[in-house]
Copies of this chain bind each other. A is one copy, B any other.
Amino acid sequence: MKGSSGPSVPEASLRRLPQYHYYLVGLQAQGITVISCSAIGRDLRYVPVQVRKDLQFTGIIGKPKVGYSVAELLVAIESLLGWNNANEAFLVGTGNLGTAILGHERFSRFGLQVVAAFDNDPRKVGQCVHGKPVLSLECLIPLAGRMNVHMGIIATPPEAAQAIAEEMVKAGIQAIWNFAPVKLNLPEHIIVRNEDLYSSWASLSCKLARRLRVPLEENASLN
């Protein structure tokens, strides 16, 4: 049971690890303590060889003809993903989306701890949303330093996102989860993950329109 020595896990494997984690939590709840590669693959609809490769990054190796220890795998995945070191984050923007993130229990079970939310709407400042205090944006920089928070979540309208991101960087934040549909222009060392739901929607609706045989060619030349 050696620890993973490689410094990086391929993005595709990384993105599957939460599914394994969720699945293993379910097994544990049923009292199952050992599980084979092929059973995991069958239940999650991955080929066993992929399961084995993904789980290798945790440093846990299954025993031949026995399988993996569910408890060991859970600890190793949580460790690999940094979930056992609760990730404290600030969230800016408490509209519909920000509120949904604050209220999403499963995120907190996976190590995301939003410690404070920020908004520029004076009607929201001072309120609590899902138990989290909503503070004025002016508090962001002083609080980030004092609380040693390194992650920021942007759930603002797109026109506000760049300025908020720059504030976050000034506040010492190193990783930004950006839900605003805009490209952020930030120093290279900042880790940014864009969650552009409008682009997803654009892609989906365009494909569906084509499927439903909307005469795009004709429409596209309207003027």
A residues near B (Cβ < 8 Å) are 1-5, 7-9, 11, 14-19, 22, 26, 44-46, 58-60, 69, 72, 75-76, 79-85, 87, 96-97, 99-100, 103-104, 106-107, 110-112, 150-151, 158-159, 174-175, 177, 181-183, 185, 191, 193, 195-212, 214, 216-223
Contacts and interface: CB of A to CB of B under 8 A. Distances in A.
A220 B4 contact: yes
Contact of A199 (B18, B106, B174): B18
B22 A209 contact: no
A56 to B, nearest CB: 11
Given A59-B220, A183-B46, A210 B7 contact: yes
A220 B96 contact: no
A80 B197 CA distance: 18
Given A112-B201, A201-B110, A81 B174 contact: no
29 contacts: A3-B219, A8-B210, A9-B206, A15-B202, A17-B199, A17-B202, A18-B202, A26-B159, A45-B183, A45-B185, A59-B217, A75-B222, A79-B219, A82-B205, A82-B206, A82-B209, A84-B219, A96-B103, A96-B104, A97-B104, A99-B100, A100-B100, A110-B198, A112-B205, A174-B211, A175-B207, A191-B208, A191-B211, A195-B200
B175 A206 contact: no
A79 B181 contact: no
Contacts of A99: 96, 100
Q: Which of A14, A60, A185, A202 has the most CB of B within 10 A?
A: A202
A111 B152 CA distance: 30
Nearest to A83: B205
Contact of A209 (B58, B75, B81, B201): B81
Contacts of A97: 100, 104
B80 A220 contact: yes
A1 B221 contact: yes
Contact of A223 (B17, B72, B159): B72
Contacts of A14: 199, 202-203, 206
